[in-house]
Structure 1
Amino acid sequence: MRKALLKNKGLIALTVCFSLIVSSGSVLVAILLQRIIDAAVKGDMGLFQQTLIVSIIYVPLLGLFGYLYSICSKALIRGWTVTLRDQVFRGILRRNFEQFSKTNTADYLSALSNDIKLIEENYVQPLLLTLQNVIIFVASLLIMLFLSPLVTGILVGCMILMFTVPSLFGKALQKRQEAVSTQMSVFTSRLKDMLSGYEVIKSYSMSKHAEKKFAQENEIAANTKFTADRTLAMNEGVSGILGSLTQFAVVFIAAYLILTGKLSAGSLVALVQLSNGFVGPVLVIMQNVPRIQGVKPVVKRIDALAEYDDHYYKGEIEPVFHANLQASQLSFAYKEGRTVLSDIDLTLFKGKKYALVGPSGCGKSTLVKLLSGSYAGYDGSITYDGIELKQLDRDLLQQMVSTIHQQVYMFDTDIRENICLYENYSEEEIQTAIQMSGIDQWISQLPNGLSSAVGENGSNFSGGQRQRIAVARALIRNMPILILDEGTSAVDMQTAYEIENRLLALSDLTLITITHNLNPDLLGSYDQVIYMNEGRIAGVGSLEELLEQNEGFRRFFTLEKPVAV
């Protein structure tokens, strides 16, 4: 939060400068009013004309500076919002896969939209208003002391009473604003969940249930917001009553001083005007201080997102992969007491092809995520050419490994950008990737070819077509390691066979394939088959070796069940 404000320090300086000019200038209007009234009462034409000329010049200048202040303050809020959103987004992306997955993506969306809007309305704008009114308050106080120390003293006494109001509402409002932020995050999460499950809702006639659930969540979110608004209204109401009483006190005391001949009529008008510039700012400050205090938990949450530091990754060594990737005594648990992998010893050599097989839930995907640096907090070691993974630069490591996921995600743009991912590749590189992935078999039939829109998450194409695009996306980067995480599960067996055969033919590519497709022709083409069971490596070897020597793998491969004893 502070960093976002400091990044816009030039605009802050201009805003404060214009605020000082406008606030002080608006207070000095009271002196002009005093001079006009006194000139009229005394019949002093010279003073009247002089004041008129000054006013004709003064008022437009004040309006001009007011415009400049308004422009600068809005530009400051815009710059701050853009900077803070950018910092929060960068903080989210700094998380490793494990840390990112611990938080619902709806919470991130809520932070980037609802929370930042909440801070803008209840922190930045009130802060600017408070600053402006502090200047008006101080300027009014100094002029009032000059005109009537007695009236000023009484007014200050009333102000002390008024300043106690924010302390009565600050803590209550803080709790309610925190509740609003939390509930909006829950609301966004529920809404995202229902919209993402649209097909299930329609397929199973769940529309009425979904409507009822949405209405409940909508009502809860609205009620939580209304509870906070009620506290704000109470604070503003009490402040308004105290402000009105104070202004009446000023008018009656000043009128009494006129009756006793101790004050001029012009001074009365000036004091009434200044009391507005004295009491009004206090009211604004009283109304906004609780809002600023109330949003502090939200600010703290945003700061935590923006300033996130992935302490697991401090490595600065540039990774290399000329020989092997090795795991030794590797163990990993998502949560304490829930071990996923135990005592993994594995060596993968450059240019070799490995098939990772085993029952669902045995830890295959977790293992490849660890090897590629997506997860941290493991026991044991993972080394690239003898250098521990935690010592390696994570960003550079990610540039060595391509992954074709089972659930392919497509950005809502065209095919070309979903392959290139906004990087520059030559037309020759693009065509090679297209041919190797098999996209060329149907891309020519599209009116716009590679410029064809894929739709939201690739909705314009079939699962098999999306998976081929994902294969092209991985191949075009020509990285030394390719992970195929059930990457051909959405295509027919013949197409899957063709894609994997093409990948197996790349001599410099180290291929790690997670598969449930136990096609003996394909598995027989891999240098080694790694069989996993219950978080451990239960066998490593060629397909023939495992079938001959490993009873567990043989039962898994032939779908046999162990004989009960």
Structure 2
Amino acid sequence: MKQSIRQNKMLLAVTLLFSIITSAAGVLIAIILQKVIDAAMQGDMLLFKKIVILSVAYLLLLSLFGFMYAICSKALIRNLTLSLRERVFRGVFRRNAEEFTSSNTADYLSALTNDIKLLEDNYIQPLLLTLQNVVVFAASLIILLYLSPLITLILVVCMILMFTVPSLFGKALQDKQSAVSAQMSIFTTSVKDLLSGYEVIKSYAMGKHTEQKFQQENTAAANTRFAADRLFAANESLSETLAILTQFSVVFIAAYLIISGDFSAGSLVALVQLSGGFVGPVLVVMQNLPKIQGVKPVVQRINDLASEEAQPKSGLLEPVFNENLEISRLHFAYQQGNQVLSDINLSLQKGKKYALVGRSGCGKSTLVKLLSGYYDRYEGSITLDGINIKQLDPERLQQMTATIHQNVYMFDTDIKQNICLHEEFSEEVMETALHTSGVHKFVEKMPSGLLTTVGENGSQLSGGQRQRIAVARALIRSKPILILDEGTSAIDMQTAYEIESRLLTLKELTLMTITHNMNEELLGLYDEIIYMENGRIAEVGSFHVLRARGGGFAAFCSLHKGDVAEALQA
């Protein structure tokens, strides 16, 4: 929050300047009213005309300064919310993978929408109002002391009494605001989950349950908000009652002084006007201070999310892959404590092709994520050309690797942008990627070709078409390391075989394929098969050597063939 304010310090200074001028000038209206009434009571027409002319000019200037303040304050609010959203967004995306996945994406959406709106309504605007009214209060106090020290003393006593009110509500409002933020995050998460599960809900006739679930979460969110609003209402009601009592006191005392002959009628009008300028700001401050205090947990949450962008990256080395990627005594466990990888030792040579094989859950995907710098919390060492990858720039390290996942994400744009990802490539490079991946086979049949929109997460495409696009997305960048994580599982066997065969012929490419496809001809083309069991590397060697050895890999191949035969018979 402080950084966003510092970025807009000039605009803040100008806004405060116009706020001071406008607020102080507004208070001086009481003196003009005093002079007008006194001139009228004295029957001085010449003085009356002068005051009217002066008042017109004064009001025009006041209107101009008021307009400038309104424009500047709205621009400041826009810039602050813009800066906060940008900083939170950058902070979220600069988290490492483990930190990012530790929170639901709906929590991030809630922070960027609900929490920023809470800050605007209950922190930024109340803060500007409070600063403005402090100026009004100070100017009113000076003029009140000039007109009547006695009435000023009475107003100060009332003010002290009024300032005790926020202390009664501050802590409770802070808890309520925190509860609102938390409940809105839960609501956003629930709605996102229901919308994402549309197909399952329709397929299994879960409409009634879904409506009930939404109603429960919607009611909980509305009730939590209402509980906070109820407390705000109590605070505002009590503050307004005290303010009215204070103004009544001023009027009655001033009226008594007029009867006693110690006050003019114009002074009475000025006092009534000034008491509003004295008590009103106190009332505004009383109503807004609890809001500012109450939103502190939300400010802290925004600061925590945005702080990730400030992490220094100095001293990190540029990754270079000319020789090998070495893994030594590698152990890894997720935060829940379950050990995923144990005592992994492996050497991967540049330009060679590796097939990573094993039962589901044996740690294959986790291993390749560690190799690409996805996680940095592990025991043991991973070195790239002899340099520990923890000494390398993580973003650069990840840019050296292209991964084709089984579950492909598509952005809601056209096919070309889903391949290029807003980078520019030559027509020759594009054509090569399209033909190697097989994308050209279905793009040629589409009326808009590469400019065909894919829909939300590729909803307008089949699973096989999405995977072909993912393959083209990886190939077009010619990165030195390619990870194929079941990346052709949704493509027909012939196309998958063609794509994988072409990848195996690329001499400079280091390929790691996670696969359950036990095609003997294809596996025979790999330099090494890495067979994993229960988070450990059980066997390493060429396909034919491992089959002849008759160990775990051979048994796994036989089991897989049996499953395929059963499936074909069924």
Residue 86 of structure 1 aligns to a residue whose secondary structure is helix
Kept in 1: contact 2:381–2:388 (CA 8 A): yes
- Cα distance in 1 for residues equivalent to 2:38 and 2:179: 55
Task: Provide, for residues 46-90 of structure 1, a one-character-per-residue CA deviation record: whole Å limited to 9, x for no partner.
Answer: 221111111110101101111111111000000001110000001
Counterpart AA for 1:462? S
Residue 334 of structure 2 aligns to a residue whose secondary structure is strand
Give the corresponding residue for 1:184: 184
Kept in 1: contact 2:236–2:287 (CA 8 A): yes
Give the corresponding residue for 2:8: 8
Give the corresponding residue for 2:490: 490
Task: Provide, for residues 401-457 of structure 1, a one-character-per-residue CA deviation record: whole Å limited to 9, x for no partner.
Answer: 001111100000111111110111122221111111111112111111111111100
- Cα distance in 2 for residues equivalent to 1:425 and 1:168: 64
- Cα distance in 2 for residues equivalent to 1:183 and 1:213: 14
- Deviation of residue 517 (structure 1)? 1.1
Residue 441 of structure 1 aligns to a residue whose secondary structure is helix
- Cα distance in 2 for residues equivalent to 1:312 and 1:435: 42
- Deviation of residue 314 (structure 1)? 6.6
Give the corresponding residue for 1:84: 84
Q: Does 1:139 align with 2:139?
A: yes
- Deviation of residue 337 (structure 1)? 3.2
TM-score (norm 2): 0.97
Q: Does 1:211 align with 2:211?
A: yes
- Deviation of residue 308 (structure 1)? 2.0
List alignment gaps of at least 5 residues for structure 1: none
Counterpart AA for 1:74? K
Residue 308 of structure 1 aligns to a residue whose secondary structure is helix
- Deviation of residue 98 (structure 1)? 1.1
Give the corresponding residue for 2:426: 426
Alignment of 1:251-330 (within 5 A): 251-308=251-308, 316-330=316-330
Give the corresponding residue for 2:402: 402
Q: Does 1:534 align with 2:529?
A: no
- Cα distance in 1 for residues equivalent to 2:172 and 2:197: 38
Give the corresponding residue for 2:235: 235
Residue 307 of structure 1 aligns to a residue whose secondary structure is helix
Distance 1:361 1:311, change over 3 A: farther
Kept in 2: contact 1:539–1:550 (CA 8 A): no
Give the corresponding residue for 1:511: 511
Q: Does 1:114 align with 2:114?
A: yes
- Deviation of residue 552 (structure 1)? 1.2
Kept in 2: contact 1:122–1:292 (CA 8 A): yes
Counterpart AA for 1:158? C
Which of 532-541 and 436-445 deviates more? 436-445
Kept in 2: contact 1:415–1:452 (CA 8 A): yes
Residue 95 of structure 2 aligns to a residue whose secondary structure is coil
- Cα distance in 2 for residues equivalent to 1:335 and 1:311: 22
Counterpart AA for 1:524? G
Give the corresponding residue for 2:344: 344
Alignment of 1:88-103 (within 5 A): 88-103=88-103
- Cα distance in 2 for residues equivalent to 1:27 and 1:312: 50
Kept in 2: contact 1:314–1:390 (CA 8 A): no
Kept in 2: contact 1:312–1:390 (CA 8 A): no
- Deviation of residue 547 (structure 1)? 1.1
Give the corresponding residue for 2:47: 47
Kept in 2: contact 1:34–1:267 (CA 8 A): yes
- Deviation of residue 310 (structure 1)? 9.1
Distance 1:362 1:170, change over 3 A: same
Residue 483 of structure 2 aligns to a residue whose secondary structure is strand
- Deviation of residue 24 (structure 1)? 0.5
- Cα distance in 2 for residues equivalent to 1:532 and 1:380: 18
- Deviation of residue 545 (structure 1)? 1.1
- Cα distance in 2 for residues equivalent to 1:360 and 1:312: 38
Residue 472 of structure 1 aligns to a residue whose secondary structure is helix
Counterpart AA for 2:188? T
Distance 1:2 1:147, change over 3 A: same
Counterpart AA for 2:480? P
Give the corresponding residue for 2:413: 413
Counterpart AA for 1:452? T
Counterpart AA for 1:206? M
- Cα distance in 2 for residues equivalent to 1:314 and 1:210: 50
Counterpart AA for 1:292? I
Give the corresponding residue for 1:386: 386
List alignment gaps of at least 5 residues for structure 2: 562-570
Give the corresponding residue for 1:123: 123
Kept in 2: contact 1:411–1:418 (CA 8 A): yes
Kept in 2: contact 1:312–1:376 (CA 8 A): no
Give the corresponding residue for 2:226: 226
- Cα distance in 2 for residues equivalent to 1:560 and 1:451: 41
- Deviation of residue 245 (structure 1)? 0.2
- Deviation of residue 101 (structure 1)? 0.7
Residue 48 of structure 2 aligns to a residue whose secondary structure is helix
Residue 28 of structure 2 aligns to a residue whose secondary structure is helix
Which of 364-373 and 397-406 deviates more? 397-406
- Cα distance in 2 for residues equivalent to 1:308 and 1:178: 22
Give the corresponding residue for 2:567: none
Give the corresponding residue for 1:74: 74
Give the corresponding residue for 1:440: 440
Residue 360 of structure 2 aligns to a residue whose secondary structure is coil
- Cα distance in 1 for residues equivalent to 2:148 and 2:222: 49
- Cα distance in 1 for residues equivalent to 2:314 and 2:386: 18
Give the corresponding residue for 2:564: none
Give the corresponding residue for 1:161: 161
Residue 103 of structure 2 aligns to a residue whose secondary structure is coil
Kept in 2: contact 1:328–1:346 (CA 8 A): yes
Which of 311-320 and 2-11 deviates more? 311-320
- Cα distance in 1 for residues equivalent to 2:535 and 2:403: 21
Residue 484 of structure 1 aligns to a residue whose secondary structure is strand
Percent identity over the alignment is: 66
- Cα distance in 1 for residues equivalent to 2:463 and 2:288: 54
- Deviation of residue 191 (structure 1)? 0.6
Kept in 1: contact 2:90–2:309 (CA 8 A): no
- Deviation of residue 550 (structure 1)? 4.7
Give the corresponding residue for 2:566: none
Task: Provide, for residues 475-516 of structure 1, a one-character-per-residue CA deviation record: whole Å limited to 9, x for no partner.
Answer: 111100000111001111111111101111111100000111
- Cα distance in 2 for residues equivalent to 1:252 and 1:89: 57
- Cα distance in 2 for residues equivalent to 1:500 and 1:410: 22
Residue 335 of structure 1 aligns to a residue whose secondary structure is coil
- Cα distance in 2 for residues equivalent to 1:124 and 1:222: 23
Give the corresponding residue for 1:455: 455
- Cα distance in 1 for residues equivalent to 2:448 and 2:11: 46
Kept in 2: contact 1:180–1:221 (CA 8 A): yes
Aligned length: 561
- Cα distance in 2 for residues equivalent to 1:450 and 1:211: 39
Residue 325 of structure 1 aligns to a residue whose secondary structure is strand
Counterpart AA for 1:397? L
- Cα distance in 1 for residues equivalent to 2:491 and 2:238: 68
Which of 394-403 and 20-29 deviates more? 394-403
Distance 1:288 1:408, change over 3 A: same
Which of 314-323 and 489-498 deviates more? 314-323
Kept in 2: contact 1:529–1:541 (CA 8 A): yes
- Cα distance in 2 for residues equivalent to 1:462 and 1:315: 45
Kept in 1: contact 2:532–2:539 (CA 8 A): yes
Task: Provide, for residues 29-62 of structure 1, a one-character-per-residue CA deviation record: whole Å limited to 9, x for no partner.
Answer: 1110000000000111222111111111010110
Counterpart AA for 1:284? V
Distance 1:312 1:257, change over 3 A: closer
Distance 1:319 1:465, change over 3 A: same
- Deviation of residue 194 (structure 1)? 0.7
- Cα distance in 2 for residues equivalent to 1:313 and 1:130: 40
- Cα distance in 2 for residues equivalent to 1:33 and 1:279: 19
Which of 313-322 and 521-530 deviates more? 313-322
